Amino acid sequence: MHRIARTTMPLLLLGLVAGACSPAGATPADDGDGKATLTFLTFETPNLDAKYWDAAIARAEKKVPGVRIKKLVAPSADRTGYAKQLLGSGQFPDVMIAVSPSGFAESGQLAPFTDAELTSFTFPHSNPIGGKIYQLPYNTQPTPLIYYRKSIFRTAGIDAPPKTYRELLEDSATLKKAGVDPFVVGGGGKDSFAASYLWTALVGTDVYRKRPDWLAQRRAGKVKFTDPLFKNATGKFVGLVDKGYVDSSGLSRDYAATEKAFLAGKGAMYPMGGWFATAADQSPVKDDIGVFPFPTEDGSTVLPSYTGGGMSVSAKSAHVDLAKKFALAFNEDRRNLDAVVKSDGAIIAEKGYTPPQGMGPVYRATAEVYDSAVAADGVVNAFLVETGDDAMLPGTVDQSYAFAQDIIAGRKNADQVTRALDEAWAKADTE
C-alpha cells in the first residue's frame, strides 16, 4: 500500500491542533438554498469506483432533505491515515466510511451511535470502543479466504482443497514440484496490506481460535507478541516463505496486478478478502475458481472476519444529527447494499437483507464458506483488521504490513518480527 506522509504527532494532539483550526465539516450552503454541505471521505478501488460512489451518495442525499454532500477521496487505500492528516489540518470530514475509529473515538472526534440508531444491524455492538459504537456495522468481510484454481490443482494431481495444515503443506510441495507457485501474493506500491493476509490467517487459526480475546489481553499488557502462541503462528508464516511456497517477487505487485496474476494462472492459491469474489465472477475463469478457509491443524473450520466498515460521524460537525441521518440512509439503502454486494462481494450484516438474484458462483461459494464457519462457531477476529477495544494500537497496523513484507522478502524471521512488533507497540502505547 502506498503510504501517504505521516504526521508524527499523537492523535490526541492532532485533535487539539484541529480544534484550533476552522472545522472542515459542514459549512453553510453557498447556493442560498438552505442546504447544509457535509464532507464525506471515501475511497476508490477497481470494484468501488467513482461511478459507484456518486450514485450511492445521490441515493442517500434524496433520503435526507437539507443535505448536500461534498465527496472527498483518499489518495490511497490508507483512508485512516488520510483522515488523520485531515484532522491535523483542521479539515476532518463530517462523515467517513471504512475509516478505523480507533484513536479518533478516544480523543472525542467521533459521535457514538445510539442503540435506537442501530436496530437494523445484525451485530449492532461490533467493535465497541469504551462500550460505544462509532462505526456502523453493516458489512461482514471474511479476511482472508483462500481462493484457488481448480484446474491447476487437478493438473498437479490434487483432487480437493486441503482441510488440515499438514495437507496444505503437502499440496504446496506438490504444486512447487510441478513448477507452480503455491501462493500468489502482493503487497507492492500503495498496497502493502496484501502482504499480511497469510499472517492474518495463521493468527486466526492458531491464536484467536484458542484465545479469542488475545489482542484485548495484549492491550491490557497480559500477553506479548513474543509469547510462544503468537510467535509460533508467525513462525508458520516464515516457514511458508522459507519453503518457497510464497513468491517474494509478488512484493512488487500492487493490488490490481496481484489479482490479475492470480486470474492469469500465475499461481495456484490466492489469500484475499471476500470482496475478491466480485472480480472473480466477472472473469472468464470464474467456473475454475474455488474457495476454502485457511486450514487448521485438526481440520476444524476457523474463518477470520470483520464486521463493520460502515459510516462514522464527526462529533465536531456543525450538523451532527444530519450527518448521522445521512450515514444511516447510506448504509441502510437497499440499492446501495445491493450495489456493494455486486461491486465488492460484501456479506451484508443487516436484518432481513438477502443478496440480489444472479450472484456468481464465486460469491455464492464465498458466502457458503462463511455460513459454514458461522454454523461451526468458527468465526474469529481478523488480525490487523480489527477495530474497537481489541484493535491494534494506532500506527502499529502499518508497521505490521511492513513486517509482513520483511518476512516475504526474507529479511526477518519470527523472533525478529515479534520483537520489533512488541517494540512498536510499546512506543505506540506511550503516545
Residues 104 and 23 placed together within one structural domain of the fold: yes
Handedness of CA 8, 13, 19, 21 (dihedral sign): negative
pLDDT digits (tens, 9 = 90+) for 106-123: 999 999 999 999 999 988
What pLDDT is attached to residue 340? 87
Among 339, 355, 371, the domain boundary falls at: 355
pLDDT (average), residues 17-39: 57
pLDDT digits (tens, 9 = 90+) for 278-303: 999 999 999 999 999 999 999 999 99
Task: Tell me whether residue 212 is in a domain.
Answer: yes
Q: Quick check: 4 pLDDT over 50? A: no
HSE-CB of 372 using CA atoms within 13 angstroms: 14
Give the CATH number for residue 167: 3.40.190.10
Residues 290 and 350 placed together within one structural domain of the fold: no
Percentage of the chain beyond pLDDT 70 is 93
Residues 118 and 20 placed together within one structural domain of the fold: yes
Going by pLDDT thresholds of 50, 70 and 90, the confidence category of residue 383 is very high
What pLDDT is attached to residue 32? 59
pLDDT (average), residues 235-240: 98
What mean pLDDT value characterizes the chain? 90
The dihedral formed by the CA atoms of 346, 349, 352 and 356, expressed in degrees to the nearest 10 = 0
Going by pLDDT thresholds of 50, 70 and 90, the confidence category of residue 78 is confident
HSE-CB of 262 using CA atoms within 13 angstroms: 32
Number of domains in the chain: 2
Residues 217 and 68 placed together within one structural domain of the fold: no
Residues 299 and 391 placed together within one structural domain of the fold: yes
pTM: 0.80
Residues 395 and 246 placed together within one structural domain of the fold: yes
Residues 222 and 106 placed together within one structural domain of the fold: no
Task: Tell me whether residue 364 is in a domain.
Answer: no
What pLDDT is attached to residue 47? 76
Among 355, 390, 417, the domain boundary falls at: 355
Residues 211 and 234 placed together within one structural domain of the fold: yes
pLDDT digits (tens, 9 = 90+) for 161-187: 999 999 999 999 999 999 999 999 999
Report the 10 Å Cβ neighbour count for 28. Answer: 10
Query: The domain containing residue 126 runs over which residues?
Result: 11-138+310-355
Task: Tell me whether residue 215 is in a domain.
Answer: yes
**12's grid cell:** 490526541
Task: Tell me whether residue 118 is in a domain.
Answer: yes
Residues 43 and 113 placed together within one structural domain of the fold: yes
Residues 212 and 318 placed together within one structural domain of the fold: no
Task: Tell me whether residue 2 is in a domain.
Answer: no
Residues 128 and 218 placed together within one structural domain of the fold: no
pLDDT digits (tens, 9 = 90+) for 347-373: 999 999 999 999 999 999 999 999 999
Among 355, 390, 413, the domain boundary falls at: 355
Task: Tell me whether residue 347 is in a domain.
Answer: yes
Answer whether 292's CB lies under 8 Å from 171's CB. Answer: no
Residues 151 and 88 placed together within one structural domain of the fold: no
Give the DSSP letter of residue 207: I
Q: Quick check: 344 pLDDT over 90? A: no
Q: Quick check: 24 pLDDT over 80? A: no
Instruction: Considering only residues 122 and 400, tell me which one the structure prediction assigns the higher pLDDT.
Output: 400
pLDDT digits (tens, 9 = 90+) for 125-153: 988 999 999 999 999 999 999 999 999 99
Task: Tell me whether residue 361 is in a domain.
Answer: no
Answer whether 364's CB lies under 8 Å from 291's CB. Answer: no
CA distances from 120 to 113, 114, 117, 311, 329 (A): 12, 12, 8, 14, 12
Task: Tell me whether residue 84 is in a domain.
Answer: yes
